[in-house]
Structure 1
Amino acid sequence: MAETRWLDDGEQNTWRAFLMAVNLLDGALDRQLRHDAGLPHAYYQILAMLSEAPGRELTMTRLARLLRSSPSRLSHAAARLEGDGMIHRHKRPEDRRTVIVEITPVGMKALEDAAPGHVHEVRRVLFDTLSPEQVGQLREISESMLSVLDPQGEEPRYPDPDGIGTRD
């Protein structure tokens, strides 16, 4: 086994700042959406993915993959969104094992109402704090990390190969 390459002080500080920023970013976006729209960030992401999909529908399997969510976690969220009238699930007639989920007009309205506040918060906590050069660097850094975390390119990128992006 190779000898451990411990982080030096600068790397350790960078690592901790990165982790803290990612955790606080997720929390800030979730709080804003819950406060302004009554939606957790995870539910907003479901609605956004569906709104941008061809025909505004996806299979549950594809949606779970796009969101990097477990099927059980997605099923729980889908049940809640369906109960609120924001999505509709149905079986594909030619393959009863495949569940299709589609955004409803109620879900589109909720997404459209939530989007301005969400984009404002994304800008406030991320893009407004960075120079244009830093935005480019952040993209390059993220792509570099993705090349290690997903070297085969199996996970969809934004915009992903099917043309489904996000509203973030």
Structure 2
Amino acid sequence: MSNRLFTANGTRYPFSELTDKQGHFQQEAYDRLGIVYMSTYNLWGIFFGYATFLSAFVQIFLFGRQKIWSTIQHLRQRKQHSFKDRLNVLMSAYEEVPLWWYIALFVCCTVTMLILIHTQDLYIPWWVYFIGLILGGLTVVPMGFIYAISAFQVSTGTWNELV
């Protein structure tokens, strides 16, 4: 069992030969070395990584959508029925953080990241950053729901590598 990548004859794949000193892909070297081979252990790990990630969305759609919808409805009515439990009664003495603070923090982080993307060699276009933000936002509810009901943290590493 190995998680390394191999050539057709079973030796380690020399990835350093696929790029030049500037980091550009060399098609001639790839044609000479051939395709990359993986162990079945690695392939099954990738398969189940994708299956687990996508099953969280299916789980939410099939079994959790009513609960999420009722939670959204409850949050809309929360303004009239706030400060009922002990923690909320204690916290009611403190002023709530304004929404614009969170928006300002988000804008500062986004501007900083876009500047870094533009000035540094990060090898991603600016629009990929926004796609990442959107995908991250879409995965918060299903992954949080699964973790809340089962204490199982769904791995997103394989999916992030694909994106």
User: Structure 2-normalised TM-score?
Assistant: 0.31
Between structures 1 and 2, the one with greater strand share? 1
